[in-house]
Homo-oligomer: A and B are copies of this chain.
């Protein structure tokens, strides 16, 4: 098997690399904690060390990197693309790494910025645009023809959950929610930390406390999140909620806040395309059920692989 392409999802705290063959097959993969924060000042050395894992891969094989690696705190700040660029044409927009050795074709995928001058709304993503690109190609590979079948509402839950709407292949709406980060912050210190025992314990989608948290955000006039969160403490100190259930309740509130906000999307019959890790996607699917929405699940690994395969088959800039 001959390597044709290396794709690296290079985030803030972790990176995950795939070596793709000429037929789109995965030849090798590797994940480590060499995230952008850990590699400041030594990005090139870190990439070269990674490539040494695969000595059979020639120096002519292109390397494409997505995620925070292209941010101001990453290797090389790459300007955001705007809303008028079709996501499916991402391969044409790759930016060459100026720090690369002569002859090496190393690229960074630009992130996306959506700005509404009328409202002052601004939102950004780095890395998720590559997953959306992968989702489009995955759908095409499965026979979807035309943009209509890949347009729609996508939710990419995580530390920073991204909700994006594609219309005519372009990102026309983008909203980031600090869901995972708030969950971690609240579990670490402060009023809720004392009741959120075991924040690392995984929450089950059918946990009654998780469902109660989602339900609290599910009414026609959901409470402010900063009020709903205190409700976890109020319930524990008044014995309405067992202390060990507070983690699941808070998780339900935070995920429920995303789904409550998604009510602004006018078509309740429209499916939400969920891209994420299985455990988190299962929690969001449970939210969707409570909010009366249906979902289409896309495994994040399949989507990411499809993105690298598409870059490999479309060819990177020369």
Binding site for B on A (CB under 8 A): 71-72, 80, 113, 115, 120-124, 160, 175-179, 181-182, 184-186, 188-191, 212, 216, 221, 223-227, 229-231, 234-235, 237-238, 240, 254, 257-258, 260-261, 264
C-alpha gap A124/B189 in the complex (Å): 20
A-B contact pairs, 15 of them (CB 8 A): A80-B238, A113-B234, A115-B240, A122-B234, A123-B231, A176-B230, A176-B234, A177-B230, A178-B191, A178-B226, A182-B229, A224-B258, A225-B257, A226-B257, A226-B258
Query: Separation in Å of the A242 CB from the closest CB of chain B?
Result: 14
Query: Separation in Å of the A191 CB from the closest CB of chain B?
Result: 6
A258: chain B residues at CB < 8 Å are 224, 226
A175: chain B residues at CB < 8 Å are 223, 227
CB distance B191 to A120 under 8 Å?
Answer: no
A188: chain B residues at CB < 8 Å are 189
Contact partner of A177 among B176, B181, B212, B224, CB < 8 A? B224
A190: chain B residues at CB < 8 Å are 181, 184-185
A72: chain B residues at CB < 8 Å are 237
CB distance A122 to B231 under 8 Å?
Answer: yes
CB distance A229 to B191 under 8 Å?
Answer: no
CB distance A254 to B235 under 8 Å?
Answer: no
CB distance A182 to B226 under 8 Å?
Answer: yes
A221: chain B residues at CB < 8 Å are 264
A229: chain B residues at CB < 8 Å are 178, 182
C-alpha gap A181/B280 in the complex (Å): 27
CB distance B212 to A122 under 8 Å?
Answer: no
CB distance A230 to B178 under 8 Å?
Answer: yes
C-alpha gap A223/B216 in the complex (Å): 17
Contact partner of A124 among B182, B212, B238, B261, CB < 8 A? B238
CB distance B261 to A223 under 8 Å?
Answer: yes
Sorted from nearest, which 8 A-B pairs have the closest CB atoms?
A224-B261, A176-B230, A177-B226, A225-B225, A122-B234, A178-B226, A124-B234, A224-B257
CB distance A226 to B179 under 8 Å?
Answer: yes
C-alpha gap A240/B121 in the complex (Å): 10
C-alpha gap A181/B124 in the complex (Å): 26
C-alpha gap A182/B238 in the complex (Å): 22
Contact partner of A191 among B121, B122, B181, B212, CB < 8 A? B181
| Given A221-B264, A224-B258, 9 additional A-B pairs, CB 8 A | A115-B240, A122-B231, A122-B234, A122-B235, A123-B234, A177-B227, A223-B261, A224-B260, A225-B226
